[in-house]
Structure 1
Amino acid sequence: MKGIITDEDGVLLPAVTVMNVSLEKKTYTSSDGTFSIEAAPEDELRFVRPGFERSSIKAKYLVNNNLNIKLIRVAQPIEEVEVAKITGDISKDSKAVAKVDKGRIVKDAVGLPEPKGKMREEPATVKQVLFPILLGNLNVQGLYDLISGDARRMKRQYRYDDLQEDILWIRERVEDDYFVKEGIPKERISEFIEFSFLNKPQTRTFVRAKNLTGALSRMEESFVIFVKRLKESSNEK
């Protein structure tokens, strides 16, 4: 039994779990959205992918053993919006509408910019160096040590944390078996994902854009290279 899976817009979907519920067998779609699985006419085939509604069909309803199925995206919940109640009393209603976040007023007055991306913890050293500067006491040596030492260490730590988050984003959305069937040992899946980021930098760009389909399509180009290196390393031992 062969088939191809896309979303509503016709975009090919890799890493879709295809299960033959009757035989308790499963496989995954490749980067081009295709799959192949053993199935008898009465077997139930089920298709699962995070972010999409689950779909299933009896094999006997497929034409010429070919399946072309579309998965529907799960609707994202809309955050609730608080609406102020109108009482009819002009004095009360005008005050309710005029309520403004005092913290916002201070920020706007001082001109503080909104933080972009993640809030980073400020090293204690930064406070020790910057506070004297703000008070008019320039600590040149402390500033130099900060720039050349702690600042760079913190920057490396931030890069490492970001890398781990991107790897985790993939791991949470793709089952381990998807990588194992391509020759990646289970204990080295995270290592492979990091390798794919280096081998095909665009892979991580798709991760940052929360585009799993794009990330996996680039990632699959690294399977052969990584598996080859594993074999070479094993032979050297």
Structure 2
Amino acid sequence: MTSLAALRKSYERAELSEDASHSDPLKQFEEWLSAAIAARVPEPNAMTLATVGADLRPSTRVVLIKGFDEKGLTWFTNYDSRKGRELAGNPWAALQFHWVELERVVRIEGRVDKVSDAESDAYFASRPLDSRIGAWASPQSQVIAGRSVLVANAARYGARFLLHPPRPPHWGGYRLQPDTWEFWQGRKSRLHDRLRYRLDSDRHWLRERLAP
């Protein structure tokens, strides 16, 4: 087995300077996300979501961004899942994108709220039929006896709803409203570029360079 301590990579693809970056972090994020999509990196919309439970233990999982604008970044999931329960008790969370091929990371922190029922309904209706049935079939984060439980549930709800399953009451969207962004660009000799944007007391974005 290769020694993990011996693994090395020199980051030399790009740089991130104050002059070449946007003063608005949302525009900077849009530019980087568009670049990741154009570069055909695997699942450029995948982001790690970190939450903290009542026991103060953090947990992470990968979710898919489904939209972003000046109101925040949106994803959809089961409200009864571990992440849903933790967000109900502590609405502060963090997101991270890692586009390995571009040697870039984006980290976002802020408060999370549920999106409106109308927004959740609209997105749910746009999903493939098997995904809509799956939202009913999976008691997400609960212990089950085996995969047969999911298969049986999917068959039962498929027969019940046919081609028109409604959105489950336990399923919908969340939106994180950022108060902090960080953009990380890998650089040679581990002298990486890190630009952080944070809201000041007047709700303006303050851009700062962080040491790597």
Task: State TM-score, norm by structure 1.
Answer: 0.23
Name the structure where helix makes up a greater proportion of residues: 1
Name the structure where strand makes up a greater proportion of residues: 2
Task: State TM-score, norm by structure 2.
Answer: 0.25
Higher RCO by CA contacts (8 Å cutoff, separation 6 or greater): 2
Larger radius of gyration: 1
